[in-house]
Amino acid sequence: MLSKKIGIDLGTSTVVVYVKGEGVVVNEPALMVTDEKGGRVLAVGRAASELAGKGGKVRAIRPVRNGNGVDYGIAGALVQHLIGRIIGRQRIFRPAHGEILALESLPVGGDALDAAIDEAVSSARGLRLGGGEPERIKRQIGSANPPVADTSIEVMAIDAQGQPALTQVSAAEVASAIEDLVDQIGAAVDRVFTQVPAERRAAVRRNGLVLTGGGAQLNGLVEFLGGRARMPARIARDPEACVAVGTGMALDNLQMIRRGQHYIT
């Protein structure tokens, strides 16, 4: 049996697997749920998110923390479970003609934004959000900019006694909770641009920013970063899958990649 070329994008919130000739075969939460002692895997991916949201004596584990800290044992088990079921760190960089002119890995991933939202709710109400709720809040009412209209949504939480509770979370609360983290991303973009050789900066500014990954879809982020960097900014087509797809395609261009590796900082 011929081996398959596979590209994997293991993010803080989502894992995407691309198989050449088949397309994206996995696009699910980067989450594994085990029993309380961690000895038995109960669910992975979307099923794990649903199980974690029900509470109970289980452990919810993410293989990537803070954007770039990876537990490779958990990561391998998660991907193996997901692929088997179906087929039997934020990085900021500036590539140019196969070269990487500047690179910075920032420990601010989707889970850091989720944790900030959870902490804000806990501090204000003494409640912990249910599994998957911080990400749902982020996707529905999260914003990189102060919201024009302060909308709110009802979410599931857990009180100090471990009992389920409902509470309202507003868009203004969420924007305030993630403001510092969003600013860190903007500052990292500024630093990366200063690393670009002076003779290349005009081209970089002309071509602008391309945001990838699930976090790229945070409402207002593309406008915030483009405005701060004073250059065009856009979200990649299919931002959650494009890294995995590109990784799979890169397997056909390994020689070009190897030639450009000495540009990585």
CA distance 155 to 163: 14
Same domain, 116 and 219: yes
> For residue 107, what is the domain's CATH number?
3.90.640.10
Same domain, 205 and 219: yes
In the prediction, which pLDDT does 155 show?
93
Among residues 157, 147, 152, 154, the alpha carbon closest in space to that of 125 is found at 157
Same domain, 120 and 11: no
Looking at 74, 89, 104, the residue that finishes a domain is 89
Total of domains in the chain = 2
Q: Is residue 208 part of a domain?
A: yes
The two tokens of residue 36 are 């309380």
Among residues 217, 144, 140, 136, the alpha carbon closest in space to that of 181 is found at 144
Same domain, 104 and 71: no
- The one-digit pLDDT tens for each residue of the chain (265 residues) are 345 677 778 777 788 888 777 778 888 888 888 887 777 888 888 888 888 777 677 888 888 765 556 777 777 788 777 766 655 455 565 555 556 677 777 777 777 888 899 999 999 999 988 878 898 999 999 999 888 787 999 999 988 888 889 999 999 999 999 999 999 999 999 998 888 888 888 988 888 998 888 788 899 999 999 999 999 999 988 888 887 777 777 766 666 555 554 433 3
Q: Is residue 263 part of a domain?
A: no
Q: Is residue 265 part of a domain?
A: no
In the prediction, which pLDDT does 263 show?
37
In the prediction, which pLDDT does 122 show?
92
Q: Is residue 190 part of a domain?
A: yes
Mean pLDDT of the chain, nearest integer: 80
Same domain, 60 and 18: yes
Same domain, 83 and 106: no
Same domain, 84 and 103: no
Q: Is residue 254 part of a domain?
A: no
Where in the sequence is the domain holding 60, given as residue range(s)? 6-89
Same domain, 37 and 99: no
Alpha-carbon dihedral 193, 199, 204, 207, rounded to 10 degrees: 170
Looking at 89, 124, 139, the residue that finishes a domain is 89
Same domain, 105 and 218: yes
Is 58 in contact with 36 (CB distance < 8 Å)? yes
- Radius of gyration of the chain measured on its C-alpha atoms: 20
**73 phi/psi in degrees, rounded to 5:** -65, -50
Among residues 101, 131, 116, 32, the alpha carbon closest in space to that of 67 is found at 116
In the prediction, which pLDDT does 124 show?
93
Looking at 89, 111, 140, the residue that finishes a domain is 89
In the prediction, which pLDDT does 1 show?
38
Same domain, 167 and 210: yes
Same domain, 28 and 140: no
In single-letter form, the type of residue at position 232 comes to P
Q: Is residue 76 part of a domain?
A: yes
In the prediction, which pLDDT does 225 show?
93
In the prediction, which pLDDT does 259 show?
54
Q: Is residue 1 part of a domain?
A: no
In the prediction, which pLDDT does 261 show?
47
- How far is the CA of 231 from the CAs of 119, 185, 189, 202, 239, in angstroms? 33, 15, 11, 10, 19
Same domain, 66 and 107: no
Is 225 in contact with 108 (CB distance < 8 Å)? no
> For residue 21, what is the domain's CATH number?
3.30.420.40
Q: Is residue 252 part of a domain?
A: no
